[in-house]
Chain A
Amino acid sequence: MKHSQKRRQMWVLGLGIGLFMGWAGTAILGSSNAWAKDEMEDPNWVNYAKVSGVSGNLNSIGSDTLNNLMTLWAEGFRKQYPNVKIQIEGKGSSTAPPALIEGTAQLGPMSRKMKGKEIDAFESKFGYKPTAFPVAIDALAVYVNKDNTLQGMTIEQVDAVFSKTRQKGYKENLTSWGQLGLTGMFADMPISIYGRNSASGTYGFFKEKVLENGDYKDEVKEQPGSASVVQGVTEDQAGIGYSGIGYRTSSVHALPLSMKAGQPFVEPTFENSASGEYPLSRYLFVYVNRAPNQPLSPIVREFLKYVYSREGQKVVIKDGYFPISEKIIGKQLEHLK
């Protein structure tokens, strides 16, 4: 697919300005529609080049956040190599490390970094650490109903809504929308909280980053999937919930967040997540078992190369996540050689 007309003109203009300025330029041009998916494409991505000698089975066991993405990548990868069989299981990030250790999977997609314990278990079996490849960026968004007029929240406020321990130290327990300054019908409306079940990596990430490992309130309605959090907030005017940015719909509003009171609110857009300004952005990883100074098996290497190609990163955009920067891709491709 071609880039927009606007963008091509911009490119001609920006020939001498260099990569960084080009990027910034796109960001400004794209600001009319910060969510347009093909605005996120980077002209420096390389097309995937097929190589010979790739065949066999590829097993992936791990995160459910990455389940869709892995499936889409598998569909694309099989177009390149119709002789490859790919099986994907996505039951949670915690299932990836044991699968890598037992050798039942070559790929371990995870929506968080491996914990020290998991790395130790791996190291004690193989004598070296597992290798992590960042494959996409996710912004964990805090969603409210589309009728909710709230402009944004600080992380401390989010903590005070979701947590009963309030580790971030907000002054009061937030239970009603009126306490956040909303008026009209929202003034007396109690906040209705939606969250994920404890097996999910998203639950863990939110707990660590926002709650600082405090405890969730008992009122949190735990949902079996990210999409059902969004559905809950869609139907419930007083609802608030957290989910990956890939699950955004027209019936919910992804709140801009700020780290502290007084700082400007930051929207969970691609630019803000890539620059790290959005407080809740994270990398999604694929872990592999790679002995030091040894090449990866061709099928795993080519799969990762595909992930880092133009086709692979377009899949990331298609699934609603954000692509990783060209600089990191370059570095990872260097690793893969």
Chain B
Amino acid sequence: MKFFQQFFASGTLFIWLAGGALACSLLLIGGLLTIIFINGMGYFWPKDLVQLTLKNDTRVLGEIVDTQRIPETATADFPDGQTRMQLKVGNRDVYGLDFRWVDEADIAQRTWPQDVIAFERREWGNFYGWVTAVWDGDTPLVKGRDIAWNAWYPFLEQAESLHREIHHIERDVIGAINADMERARLNLKTLELKGKVSVDSADSLQQDIQQRELAYQEQVQRLVGLYERLNRYRVTLIDVTGEERIFPVGGLVKAWRPNAMRVWDKTLMYVENIWNVLTDEPREANTEGGIFPAIFGTVMMVLVMSVAVVPFGVLAAVYLKEYAKQGLLTRMIRIAVNNLAGVPSIVFGVFGLGFFVYAVGGTIDQLLFSASLPNPTFGTGGMLWASLTLALMTVPVVIVATEEGLSAVPREYREGSLGLGATKFESLIRVVLPCAMPGILTGLILAVSRATGEVAPLMLTGVVKLAPALPVDSQFPFLHLDRKFMHLGFHIYDVGFQSPNVEAAKPMVYVTTLVLVLVVLLLNMTAIALRTRMRKRYAGASV
């Protein structure tokens, strides 16, 4: 009895409880990250292709992605039940589905053919098989099952550079012509609206438009030529069941022979694959290709939000802490601010849509962009409104953290400053705020973490599945805050819940999640590094 009394009094139980709780949290976080990491990073490894001959003499070729036990198959021979495996067989256009389950009991033979080729295609997903013919237009260059890699692979590399050129023309060159043309058209319409259209100015604008139209047609001709070159060389591909299909080499993204590759080659390709996903644009309604626009959109939105939230939040906190008379009113305001942090994000989204997009944006359109109406410019969701909505959502965090930081500045500092003859404003700017900087940055870190993971309010205020252009580009005025943008969080929702081919899209969801976590980490690390530097600079300030 005495032992138990002592045990409780010593607090050992409490320490164990506290330690256990911490261990549980760490385990959960670690487990979650591990699952995301394994599933996300495994996606990039070029897996071997296994060829199965089934007992009914059909053949199947693909990557093994999963194995599981078949329920209710336990017999005397197989006490645990039999297993089956899921293969990624690709060739969606031929088989209808990319994946297939095969019972292990049906397999007569497994081989790993050395010469089998995996192709990543611009459409329809992967193709697994062999090249049986190479065509130049309609004339065959080579035929047969043993075509050398070099007989067609150079065409693929050539196609890649053609693709880059086409992409450049379509996006940059034609994009610039369009922007100019649009501007000329709007100028003309503005003049008409104001009723100040003179024959001369209208004529010169019309001519301008016509010239650009001609320039556009010229680029289109260039594109036609490029597409012809792209589709000139074609290959016949054969799958494991003997079905043949002809594809233009330009329709292939890359080709590799997984079974013949050594670990070193695979590692190189692994790194290359990761790089491609991070830098490429999405294809096929986001289920394939890269996620660069989503990364860009996420980071940029957070930066714009930070620019808006920090001054706003700091000013509010400074007034509340330093200038306002402390009393019932300030207490109530503090309670309101704290409660604001608990308002569900979707409510902020609805507010952003109603206030920013429709009220403010609509008014801006009426006043400044009336020429392009009824097409809205700012009267529709966009980067600016989404960032401001998130800034509103996170401003309580910054206010609270800044107030904490201000309270931590020792009284002697203020008094010293005042005693040396500085005004209250001067000591605030020169002494108090710099000392409170680490606290402000803590607020920013919390704000960034909350904002990066937020999706619901963005869906109402400017995030889209596929944005035609980035919010920053080489066209005047370079920063287009009115544009809609892509976001990693929404990408996860879209690919995970909306894409028709869930099995194929699953790895993409993990990859996007992993990237989102890394982006949050990176943004936080930057802010933390900044804070550490500040702390060193004002060492001893905030005791």
Contact = CB atoms under 8 A, between A and B. Distances in A.
A179 to B, nearest CB: 19
A86 B468 contact: yes
B483 to A, nearest CB: 10
A228 B496 contact: yes
Contacts, number: 133
B498 interface: yes
A225 B92 CA distance: 22
A89 B464 contact: yes
B465 A227 contact: no
A5 B244 contact: yes
B96 A36 contact: yes
A184 B501 CA distance: 31
Given A38-B94, A74-B466, A104-B374, A320 B501 contact: yes
B96 A2 contact: no
Contact of A227 (B97, B244, B376, B496): B496
A185 B72 contact: yes
A39 to B, nearest CB: 9
B484 interface: yes
A126 interface: no
B465 A88 contact: yes
A251 B88 CA distance: 12
B96 A71 contact: no
Interface in A268-303: none
Given A88-B465, A104-B376, A147-B71, A227 B502 contact: yes
B70 interface: yes
B216 A83 contact: yes
A83 B178 contact: yes
B110 interface: no
A103 interface: yes
A227 B499 contact: yes
A82 B223 contact: yes
B510 interface: no
A124 interface: no
Interface in A62-109: 64, 67-68, 71-72, 74-75, 78-79, 82-83, 85-90, 103-104
Contact of B93 (A37, A64, A75, A231): A37
Nearest to A35: B96
B502 A33 contact: no
B174 interface: yes
Contacts of A228: 496-497
Contacts of B70: 147
A219 to B, nearest CB: 21
Given A89-B464, A185-B72, A318 B170 contact: no
A68 B174 contact: no
Given A82-B174, A83-B174, A88-B464, A68 B96 contact: no
A87 B464 contact: yes
A246 B223 CA distance: 33
Contacts of B174: 82-83
A156 B468 CA distance: 46
A88 B466 contact: yes
Given A1-B246, A37-B93, A319-B500, A250 B484 contact: no
Nearest to B99: A250
A242 B243 CA distance: 33
A227 B245 CA distance: 30
B498 A250 contact: no
Contacts of A88: 464-466
Nearest to B503: A249
A68 B466 contact: no
Interface string A1-40: 1101100000000000000000000000000010111100
Interface in B97-125: 97-101, 123-124
B97 A35 contact: yes
Interface in A307-337: 318-320
Given A86-B468, A248-B97, A37 B498 contact: no
B86 interface: yes
A207 interface: no
Contacts of B223: 82
Interface in B418-442: none
A168 interface: no
Interface in B258-284: 283-284
B498 A68 contact: yes
Contact of B95 (A2, A35, A72, A246): A35
A177 to B, nearest CB: 13
Given A5-B244, A318-B124, A72 B100 contact: no
Contact of B465 (A2, A82, A90, A250): A90
A152 to B, nearest CB: 20
B130 to A, nearest CB: 16
Best-buried of A1, A83, A319 by chain B (most CB within 10 Å): A83
A230 B498 CA distance: 11
Interface in B165-182: 169-171, 174, 177-178, 181
Contacts of B244: 4-5
A247 interface: yes
Interface in A170-191: 184-185
A226 interface: yes
Given A104-B376, A318-B124, A146 B101 contact: yes
B12 interface: no
Contacts of A90: 465
Contacts of A318: 93, 123-124, 284
A72 B284 contact: yes
Contacts of B499: 68, 227
A55 B184 CA distance: 14
A57 interface: yes
A251 B101 contact: yes
A169 interface: no
Contacts of A74: 466
A243 to B, nearest CB: 10
B26 interface: no
A227 B374 contact: no
A36 B96 CA distance: 5
Contacts of A43: none
Nearest to A321: B500
A237 interface: yes
Contacts of A89: 464
Interface in B236-250: 243-247
Contacts of A67: 465, 498
Contacts of A249: 97, 99, 501-503
A177 B341 CA distance: 48
Contacts of B97: 35, 248-250
Nearest to B216: A83
A295 to B, nearest CB: 20
Interface in A223-274: 223-228, 230-231, 234, 237, 244, 246-251
Given A184-B72, A249-B502, A251-B86, A82 B170 contact: yes
B285 interface: yes
B143 to A, nearest CB: 15
Contacts of B158: none
B95 A71 contact: no
Given A36-B96, A147-B71, A249-B97, A1 B465 contact: no
15 contacts: A1-B245, A4-B243, A35-B96, A64-B498, A71-B466, A75-B285, A87-B468, A88-B466, A147-B71, A185-B71, A226-B497, A234-B502, A246-B500, A250-B98, A251-B101
- Please give me the 4 A-B residue pairs with the lowest Cβ-Cβ distance, nearest first: A35-B96, A225-B497, A250-B99, A82-B170
Given A249-B99, A250-B97, 8 more contacts: A1-B245, A67-B498, A71-B465, A72-B284, A75-B466, A88-B466, A231-B502, A248-B97
Interface of A: 1-2, 4-5, 33, 35-38, 52, 55, 57, 59, 64, 67-68, 71-72, 74-75, 78-79, 82-83, 85-90, 103-104, 146-147, 184-185, 223-228, 230-231, 234, 237, 244, 246-251, 318-320
